[in-house]
Amino acid sequence: MDHVQQFYIGGQWVAPRTDRTAEVIDPATEEPIASIAMGGADDVDAAVAAAKDAFESYSLTSKQERLDLLDSIIAVYSRRMEELADIISREMGAPLSLSRAAQAVAGLGHIAATRAVLADYEFERQMGTTLVVREPAGVCGLITPWNWPLNQIACKVAPALAAGCTMVLKPSEVAPLNAVLFAEILDEAGVPAGVFNLVNGDGLGVGAPLAAHPGVDMVSFTGSTRAGIEVARAAAPTVKRVAQELGGKSANIILDDADFAEVIARDMAGLCTNSGQSCNAPTRMLVPAARMDEAAAIAVEAARNIVVGDPRAETTTIGPVVSATQYSRIQQLIEKGIGEGARVEAGGPGKPDGLETGYYVRPTVFSHVTNDMTIAREEIFGPVLVLIGYEDDDDAVRIANDTPYGLSGYISGGTERARAMARRIRTGNVHLNGAPLDFNAPFGGYRQSGNGREWGEYGLDEFLEIKAIMGHDA
């Protein structure tokens, strides 16, 4: 890691224009592993200027040139996969096994999926005498989170490159080291100078000036709903396009004809993946009210099988949450749930036995939760499941939709019944009977979960403007 005290601007590793730094903390040890440079408005100005200069030529490159560039990135990324997995595990606490199998792989998956979309993408369409052309949106500000860092970086950078855009990336200052490695990969792969730029920093110092910058044509943001609102406010005076993937409080409906033992155990384990730090996690499990105690017993047993511990240990299921701030918020919400009358079936406040150092959270199961409780309304972002009872299918749909969010949903049970219910759930995604994510399908949410879509063809569409050339074939 030779460049943690530099930014990547205009195809060069350059010194920051400020003297601010921040420590990157290993959440398993609570010790710093690196100190990064923190940028400011002047660094943003330089990066946007470089991207603007590069746009004139890069926006005119051919589809084949962009395909070749993505192929080069895929080759270099594949060679450095182990480095990426290792640094993600160290900076945000994911078990090394998860970093290898999912965190690092997700980034490569999005690049490869975008490459496949680009190969068959039609940028022009004839409509009578009018030619409709899809053109690159321009200079893009990309702001990404810490929880699935390469997943979110790659699903923005790859389609932006495929569209012919240039960009400035601000990754999370909590887990920025993987982004530095990613910039090294793009540099080695031969991305033209100024097409991709990296400036580290926090939301106030870099995120806000990037979103507000008059030289930025589009902002793509992933993070909390609260921060997304601030990004939209900053972007509004320049009327730039803003695409947002924000928070969630996804309902997971277990129908009465589902195999409770299999499905609840599967979904408790799935919720706890990445220590519960996923915006689309199935955190509200809706079960028939008459079977609440049965469902709780199965969830408790599944929680006992989750091994919390050192991310480097082969037996670890989940590592720590990312930071002291995140740990404190989760503890406050667990206490809030207890105070509001939810029943703690497993876990609860405090750290697991024997894990005094590190931001470790006990896998927690709450039962007899009502949908008006804080733990059913707010995104906890930790390994915490809430069980809510419903009376019938209509009641389950009502509870599922009774949320300000709308990112994802889950339904397990008879196929036709689940399909019909999926059409009634007001979310951007619905998973039926444990179906996994699909990198070619659109990802994004309704309401306060954001706007726009990422991944696959729909992700590429976001980075394109539409022009009508009338009389083209008169």
Q: Check 245, 345, 457, 462 and give the catalytic one.
A: 245
Residue 1 has what pLDDT? 66
How confident is the model over 289-311, as a mean pLDDT? 98
pLDDT, tens digit, for every residue of 330-375?
A: 999 999 999 999 999 999 999 999 999 999 999 999 999 999 999 9
How confident is the model over 244-268, as a mean pLDDT? 97
Joined together, the tokens standing for residue 440 give 């070619």
Contact 197, 168 (CB under 8 A): yes
- Give Cβ neighbours of residue 440 (< 8 Å, ≥ 6 apart): 113, 116, 117, 455, 456, 457
Domain boundaries, the chain: 7-246+449-469, 251-439
Residues in the chain: 474
Judged by DSSP in three states, 140 sits in strand
Contact 136, 165 (CB under 8 A): yes
User: Is residue 165 among the annotated active site residues?
Assistant: no
- Give Cβ neighbours of residue 291 (< 8 Å, ≥ 6 apart): 256, 260
Query: 251-439 maps to which CATH number?
Result: 3.40.309.10
User: Is residue 279 among the annotated active site residues?
Assistant: yes
| DSSP states along 100-113 | IIIIHHHHHHHHHH
Judged by DSSP in three states, 13 sits in strand
Contact 22, 38 (CB under 8 A): yes
Judged by DSSP in three states, 304 sits in helix
How confident is the model over 281-292, as a mean pLDDT? 98
What angle, 0 to 180 degrees and rounded to 10, lies between the N-to-C axes of helices 393-401 and 415-422?
40
SS3 content of the chain, % helix, strand, coil (to 5): 45, 20, 35
Residue 474 has what pLDDT? 83
Q: What is the pTM of this model?
A: 0.96
Contact 142, 160 (CB under 8 A): yes
Instruction: Classify each residue of 25-52 as buried b or exposed e, where b means 16 or more C-beta atoms within 10 Å of its C-beta.
Output: bbbbeeeeebebbbbbbebbebbbbbbb
Asked if pLDDT for residue 265 goes beyond 90, the answer is: yes
How confident is the model over 320-333, as a mean pLDDT? 98
Asked if pLDDT for residue 272 goes beyond 80, the answer is: yes
Query: 7-246+449-469 maps to which CATH number?
Result: 3.40.605.10
Mean pLDDT, the chain, rounded, equals 97
Contact 295, 387 (CB under 8 A): yes
How confident is the model over 186-195, as a mean pLDDT? 98
* 458: Cα within 13 Å, side-chain hemisphere: 14
Q: Check 155, 279, 379, 454 and give the catalytic one.
A: 279
pLDDT, tens digit, for every residue of 386-420?
A: 999 999 999 999 999 999 999 999 999 999 999 99
pLDDT, tens digit, for every residue of 34-87?
A: 999 999 999 999 999 999 999 999 999 999 999 999 999 999 999 999 999 999
